[in-house]
Amino acid sequence: MTGINVAIPKSIDETLELLEKWGPDAAIIAGGTDLVVELKDKLKSWKALIDIGCVPEVRGIREADSNHVWIGAMSTHAEIASSTLVRDTAPVLANACAQVGSPQIRNRGTIGGNISTASPAGDTIPALFVLEASVEIIGPKGTRIVPIESFFQGPKKSVLAPCEMVLGVRIPKLDKEYISFFRKLGQRKSLAISIVSVAFVAKCQGPGLFTDVRVAFGAVAPTVIRARTVENAICGKQLDPKTAEYVSKLAFRDCVPITDVRGSKGYREQMACNLLYEGLLSLLSCSEAC
């Protein structure tokens, strides 16, 4: 990690100038929870690091308008998990952020970093998928908005150009009628990368009856995926524990996992079904109050 230039810009304009100056030889650093590990293990090498910790335009959690919440790229997982605005309007994201790594990681790691890293195991990403969030990107040609499902192109690959950066995410608010959950499986209860994760959002129309169903799985494909087969099987159907078990077993149809050191293909498929089933059972009891 020696011989690396470090710049600390004070504005977006200054950041973009530095990105254009260094091009692909530069990397944006926010919390550094992934990037520093890659440098230490010599998995990546850059000539310059651009620390955006002092850039005000990428900070804050606020209402963008009456229907949307905006979360700056430098917002930490701890800040998001504890935000009353996020807990009230996008609770599945607050729940996901609360389960990221250790307290130290949650206090340093940022949502912009989690998105930009483009790992299919990123904990916040399934939640952003079911919230149908959009990513705000800025570069030399200006600002563009990309739907979260279109942002990722493969493991560690995204639509970000070398001189672009994530400004933040824009999230539609969920009404009070919506119900949600986020669950993950790691090799330990905490401090572990997800082997499988699942996020769920739906509008509760009555006990066991859901519409506008959205289900996303992490770590079971080259990118986080929406489970359309499961969504269609749940939407508008009356669920009870038996039918919940049946639709949960459909999860494997949307999953295309690999075998790696954290889990085999078959194990991930089975655990995707199990996590979904556990979550649905928890919602069935909650939906009785709808």
Structure tokens at 87: 């807990």
34-90 tens-digit pLDDT = 777 777 767 677 888 999 999 999 999 999 999 999 999 999 999 999 999 999 999
Rounded CA separation 164/156 (Å): 16
Give the whole-angstrom CA distance, residue 142 versus residue 159. 15
Q: Is 125 in contact with 154 (CB distance < 8 Å)?
A: no
Q: How far apart are CA 94 and CA 79, in angstroms?
A: 9
d(CA 9, CA 186): 37
Element (H, E) at 55: none
What's the pLDDT at 252? 86
Which parts of the chain have pLDDT scores under 70? Answer: 1-2, 41, 43, 187-192, 287-290
Q: Considering only CA atoms, which of 155, 217, 162 is closest in space to residue 28? A: 162
DSSP conformational letter for 212: E
Q: What is the pLDDT of residue 33?
A: 78
Q: How far is CA 148 from CA 53, 104, 136, 265, 278, in A?
A: 24, 27, 10, 25, 26
pLDDT at res. 192: 61
What is d(CA 265, CA 41) in angstroms, rounded to the nearest whole number? 27
What angle separates helix 265-287 from helix 241-248, to the nearest 10 degrees? 150
Shortest CA distance to 143 belongs to which of 240, 58, 259?
Answer: 58
> 3: phi > 0 → left, psi -120 to 50 → alpha, else beta; which?
left
Cα separation, 287 vs 40, in Å, equals 48
Q: Give CA–CA dist 61/239, Å, rounded.
A: 36
Which are the contacts of 247, defined by CB distance < 8 A and separation ≥ 6?
A: 230, 233, 234, 237, 239, 276, 280
The letter for the amino acid at 176 is: K
Domains and CATH numbers, the chain: 58-172 (3.30.465.10), 178-287 (3.30.390.50)
- 168 touches 136 (CB < 8 A): yes
Cα 278 from chain centre: 21
